[in-house]
Structure 1
Amino acid sequence: MNSTLAVLINVPILFLLYIIIYFTQALSGKRQFYGVSLNSDYFNKKEFKELDKKFKLLLTLGFIIFTISLLICVYIFEAYVSSSILPITGFCIYQFVIFIYIHNKVKTVKQDLSLEISDLELEKTKVILDTDFMNEKNTIVKRYSILFIIPFIITIIVAIYTCTQYNSMPDIIPTHWGFTGEADAFSEKSLGKVLLNVFMSIGVGIIMYVSSVNSLKSRAKLDTNNINESKKAHLSHLNKFAFSFFLVNLGCHLLFINILIAVSSAGNVNPYMIWPATILILVASIYQTYLYYKSPSKSKSALYSVDDNDDNWIFGSIYNNANDPSLFVQKRFGVGWTINIGSGKGKALFILPFILIIFISLVSF
C-alpha cells in the first residue's frame, strides 16, 4: 500500500463515520434524545438544542484532529497499516466519550426542567397484550429463522472442507486479497492460520444468526391511538426488516465461503462473488437503516415499555434489566438493536465478540 491509496481508503471511511454519527440523533426516533427518554415536543427547546449543537461541534473538532493524525501517520511516519487502525479507532472512542458527556448533560437539564414542566417524560401508557398479533409476529420470525440458517450451514460445510484440505495445502498460503481478488499477502502454513479463517467465519456467523433472530423478536410497541392500523404497520415492517437481515446474512456468508475456498486452494478469491456480495451487504444495510428510521416502534405515540425507563440503561447505550426477558431491544441513540446484558444469554453474547478478537489476535501473532 502506498500513501495515496492509504489516504483514498482511510479518509473516506473516517468521513463516513463522522457523517453517520453527526446525524445519529436524527435517526434515533421521537422517544429519546441522546439516550434519554424525552417527550419529542421538547426536542427543540433551547437548552436541548444547545446541547445538540455542542455535540456536533465537538464531533467536528474531533474529526478534524483525527484526520490530521491520519495524514501524519501516512505522510510523515509512512505507517500505512496504523493509519487504517489508530485514527479510526481513536475517533470511535472519542465520539463515545463526548456522547456520554452530552448524555449526562441532557439528563441533568431534563431533571432541572422537570420541576417546571410536567410532561417531559414519555407518557406511561398501558401495556397491550395481543395474542393474535404475537402469533403472527412469531410466524414471521420462525420463517426467516430457517432462511437465515441455510447460508450458515453452507458456510459450516465449506469450513469443514477447508480443514480436511490442510495436508494438501502448500507451505505458503494467502492471508489477504486485494480489490481484484488476487492474493497480496502470504504466510507460512500453520494450523492456527487456517483455523483463524474457519473459526472467524463460524463465530461471526453464530453472532449474526443470533443477533438477526433476536432483533426480529424484540419488543414491538403498538400505537395506542390506532391499534389495528399499528398492528398492520408493525407486521409489514417486520417482514421488510427480516428480508433485509436475510440479505445481509447472505452477503456475509458469500464472503466467508469465498475466503474459505481461497484458503483451501491457496489461490485467489473470486471477484465476481466478492463484489456482488459486498454491494448486497451495503445496499441491504442502507435499506435497513431507512426501515429503522421509519419503524412504528420509534414513533412518539408508541406505547411505553420497560426499555423506555432511563434507570435500565447505562450511559444511555447499554441496556441492563434482569427482569426483562428480551435479549435484544432497540437502541436509544442510533440505528439498530442492542443486547440486554441483564440476562445470562445477553452477557454471553456480549462477551463472545471479545473472545473472538482475543483468539484472532493470539493466532495472528
Structure 2
Amino acid sequence: MNGADMLVNVFVPAVLAALAWWMPSLTSPTLPFGVRSPYARADDPVVVEQRRQYRRQVAASGAVLITVGVLVSSVFRFGIPGVIPLLTVAACLAAYSRARVAVMAVKQRENWYGGLRQGVVADTALRTDPERFPWLWAVPALLICIGTTVVGVLRYPSLPDRIPVHFTDSGSADRFAARSIGTAFFPVFAQATLTVLLLALTWMSFQARADLDPARPADSARRHRRFSVRTAISLLLLAASADLTLLAGAWAMWHPDQRVSPALSLLPILAGLAVVIGIAVRTGQGGSRMPAQDGAVTEENTGMVRRDDDQYWRLLGSVYVNRADPALLVQKRFGIGWTFNLGNPRGVALLLGIVLAPALIVPLLVH
C-alpha cells in the first residue's frame, strides 16, 4: 500500500470516525443530536441510550470501512479514491439521523417543554466591550504568503519551459505543464485565496451572535468570549499551516532537481488540523466544555430555558433557515463551528460567493 492510499483509505476514515464518535461530547448538553432540549433532560434515558447506540454504530461502521480500505489498497490493488471516506461520512450521518429521530420522537411525545419558561438573552457588553480579534495570529499566514511570492518571483526567470505540476509518492515528477504565470504561481494564488477566505470566515464567526444560556447568562457569556478567541486563533494557525503545505508544493515545482516528499508536505496542514481539533475538544461548541471562569462562583440558575427553535433547523438539524433572524452566521447544532442562515438573503449570497470564488479562480489560472 503506498502512502497516498494509506492516507485516503485508512487515515482519513479513521479520523472521521473518531471525530464522529466524539461529537456528542462537544455539543451543548441541551442539544442532544441537534434536538433543542431543556437542561433537565440532558441525561434523559433516551438521550443516554441513543448516545450509546450512536457511538456503537459509528465505531462498528468505521472499523469495517477501514478494513475494506486496507483490503482494497493492499490486496485487491484497485483504486477508488475518496470512496471510503465518503462511505464513512455516510455511515456516520446514518447513525446520527437514527439517533436524532429517536430523541425527537420522545421529546414530542413527552412534551419536554410543557410548563417551562422559555427565553432569549443578549449580552450588550459583547458589543460595547467586545473581545479583540487576535490579528497578530494572522501574521504567520501573511508572512508565508509574502515569502512564497518572493521566492517565486526570484525563481521564475530560471524555470525550464516545462515545469512539474504533479508528483509521485516518492517525490519524483510525473506530470508537466508549459511554464506560465498561471502554472508557476498557482500555489501562490491558492495561498492568497485560502488565506483571504479563512481570515474572512474567522472574522465573521468572531463577530457572530453569541448563543447564551438564559439559565446562566453571565456564565455563558464568559464562556463565549474565551471560546471565540481560542477558536479564532486555531483557525488562523490552520491558515498558516495550510500555506506552509502549499509552500512545500511550490518549492517542489520551482526546484525540480530536488525531491520533496508529498507525505512530508502534508505534515504542516495535518498539524494545523490537529490544533483545531484539540482546541475544539477542549472548549466544546460555544465553550460548553469550559468552566464559566476559573475560581468564579457559579451563577444562580434563573429558572429559564433556551427557546425551542427546532422549527428553524432543516435537513437533520444541519441547515438553519429563519427569515426573521438578521444573523448571517449561527452556531451549529451538532459539532463545532458555525453555519449560514439561509433565511437571510445576505447569508445565501455570502455562501454562494465563498463556494463560487475558488471555482471561478482556478479555471482562470489554469488557462
Fold in common (TM above 0.5): yes
Q: Does 1:187 align with 2:163?
A: no
Paired with 2:70 and 2:243, the residues of 1 have a C-alpha distance of 34
**C-alpha deviation, 1:177, in angstroms:** 5.8
Q: Is residue 342 of structure 2 the alignment partner of residue 341 of structure 1?
A: yes
The residue type paired with residue 310 of structure 1 is D
Shift of 1:312: 1.4
- Partner AA of 1:319 in structure 2: Y
Task: State the match for 2:271 in structure 1.
Answer: 279
In the alignment, is residue 86 of structure 1 matched against residue 83 of structure 2? Answer: yes
Contact 2:138 2:237 in 1 (8 A): no
**1:259 corresponds to:** 249
1: CA distance between counterparts of 2:18 and 2:115? 29
Answering whether residue 202 of structure 2 is matched by residue 201 of structure 1, we say no
Change (3 A) 1:46 1:256: same
Counterpart of 1:12 in structure 2 is: 11
Within 5 A, what are the aligned runs for 1:126-145?
126-130=120-124, 132-137=125-130, 139-141=131-133, 144-145=134-135
Q: Does 1:311 align with 2:311?
A: yes
Check 1:20–1:227 CA distance in 2 against 1; reply closer, same or farther (3 A cut): closer
Structure 1 residue 260: Cα displacement: 3.4
Equivalent position SS for 2:334: coil
Q: Secondary structure at the match of 1:188?
A: strand
Mean Cα deviation higher: 193-202 or 249-258: 193-202
In structure 2, the residue matched to 1:59 is: 58
Provide the secondary structure at the position in 2 that maps to 1:140: coil
Assess, with a 3 A threshold, how the Cα gap between structure 1 residues 105 and 364 changes in structure 2: closer, same or farther. Answer: farther
Counterpart contact for 2:138–2:199, Cα < 8 Å:
yes
Matched, 1:95 2:92: yes
Are 2:128 and 1:106 equivalent residues in the alignment? no
Q: What amino acid maps onto 2:70 in structure 1? A: L
1:200-245 C-alpha deviation (Å, 9 max, x unpaired): 3333223211221122112224454555555444434433333333
Deviation of 1:148 (Å): 2.9
TM-score (structure 2 length as normaliser) = 0.76
- Give, as a single letter, the amino acid of the residue that structure 2 aligns with 1:107: M
User: Which amino acid letter does the alignment assign opposite residue 202 of structure 1?
Assistant: A
For 1:207, give the aligned amino acid: L
Of all paired residues, the percent bearing the same amino acid is 19
Quick one: structure 1 residues 58 and 277, their matched pair in 2 at CA, closer, same or farther if it must change by over 3 Å? closer
Matched position secondary structure for 1:37? coil
Counterpart-to-counterpart distance in 1, 2:254 and 2:67: 41
Aligned residues between the structures? 353
Name the counterpart of 1:26: 25
SS in 2 for 1:124: strand
Cα distance in 2 for partners of 1:67, 1:232 equals 41
1: CA distance, partners of 2:14 / 2:279: 20
State the SS of the aligned residue for 2:132.
helix
5+ residue gaps, structure 2: 293-298
Question: Counterparts of 1:144-293 in structure 2 under 5 Å?
Answer: 144-145=134-135, 147-148=137-138, 151-152=141-142, 155=145, 158-159=148-149, 162=152, 168-176=158-166, 182-189=171-178, 191=180, 193-194=183-184, 196-224=186-214, 230-266=220-256, 275=267, 278-293=270-285
Letter paired with 1:42 = R
| Alpha-carbon distance change, 245 to 361 in structure 1, aligned in 2, over 3 angstroms | same
Could you give the per-residue CA deviations for residues 296-341 of structure 1, whole angstroms, max 9, x where no partner exists?
59999798677x6111111211122233232222111112222223
Equivalent-residue separation in structure 1 for 2:364 and 2:161 (angstroms): 21
Name 1:356's counterpart in structure 2: 358
RMSD in angstroms over aligned alpha carbons?
4.1
Whole-angstrom CA distance in 2 between matches of 1:72 and 1:359: 38
TM-score by length of 1: 0.76
CA distance in 2, matches of 1:297, 1:288: 9
The structure whose residues are more often helix, as a share, is: 1
- Where 2:118 maps in the other structure, the secondary structure is coil
Q: Whole-Å Cα distance in 2 between the matches of residues 120 and 76 of structure 1?
A: 61
2:323 is paired with a residue whose SS is coil
CA drift at 1:93: 2.7
